[in-house]
Amino acid sequence: MRVASCPPETDALAQRYCDANTSTGARGVAVERVALEGLANNTRAVMNRRVGALSNWLNGESPLFASFYTQIEHSGRDPEMNNDFDPGREAAESAVNPYCYRELVYAALTADESGMSYYGPYSVILKTVTIQNRSSIFEQNPFEFLKAHHIIAGQSIPHGYRATWGDRGKLAVAKLHSRIGHGASIQDLARLIMEGRGHESSCDFLEVHIYGPVNRAGIEIIAGPEPQSRADRLVWRQAKRKAVDLGIELRETA
């Protein structure tokens, strides 16, 4: 959050935003660009999980979401995993947030409550008030970003690709302006903020970096389908009851 609000970041983002305004003006889609910015300014953070992880979060001894590094620290996770799968992730995340990546929880921006179902069918939308003062928005998944920008661990990342929560509309415009079409509807624009193929790994989205743990009391909405297997259906049923007790809004999708 502090990094996103420092002058080099805000200046570089302002330059990108200015270029985007020029391009959209030249292409005759300034109106649609304004609509995109407005829409992005009203987005929320969504996390997607599988039913087992959701059940853990709602029923666990701790009300806090167990992030990757928390699990490592508290050794609920096999340390070998850190040696095989995770160095790439750690390298990417530490390059983007070198001093605090271990404290971050990751989410995506959503304009229409859809989520990255690739990571799990249950979309957990967070209450904005609980995260807005401790979150920044990043251009895309850090791993993909480093690949595109040819950055390796230890190097600093270019400025202008992150924003404070309040400036997420500007970042969305800076990133997405070239994809705005003439007469784009609100639905079309929402699909730019998070592509309509959240079930694919390549789905592009703006990433939310939340500093500090996320309490289950900070969940606003849980949306997802009824599972197919009997055991998972029972876990989901129990999770729904727990969610209602916690005052969380539930949406069972098809």
> Which residues would be at the binding site for another protein (CB under 8 A)?
15, 19-20, 22-23, 25-28, 49-50, 52-57, 65-68, 71, 73-81, 84-86, 88-89, 91-92, 106, 118-120, 141, 143, 146-153, 158, 175, 177-179, 201, 228-232, 234-235, 237-238, 241
Closest to another protein by CB, 129 or 182: 182
CA-nearest of 245, 240, 202, 208 to 224 is 240
Q: CB 113 → another protein: shortest distance, Å?
A: 20
Q: CB 28 → another protein: shortest distance, Å?
A: 7
Residue for token pair 């929320």: 44
Dist CA 245 CA 160 (whole Å): 42
Closest to another protein by CB, 86 or 195: 86
Closest to another protein by CB, 7 or 79: 79
Closest to another protein by CB, 67 or 164: 67
5 burial (CB, 10 Å; 0-12 / 13-18 / 19+) is middle
Q: CB 232 → another protein: shortest distance, Å?
A: 7
Q: CB 49 → another protein: shortest distance, Å?
A: 5
Closest to another protein by CB, 99 or 230: 230
38-64 burial: b if 16+ Cβ within 10 Å, else e: ebbeebbbbbbbebebbbbbbeeeeeb
Closest to another protein by CB, 3 or 92: 92
Q: CB 146 → another protein: shortest distance, Å?
A: 6
Q: CB 111 → another protein: shortest distance, Å?
A: 20
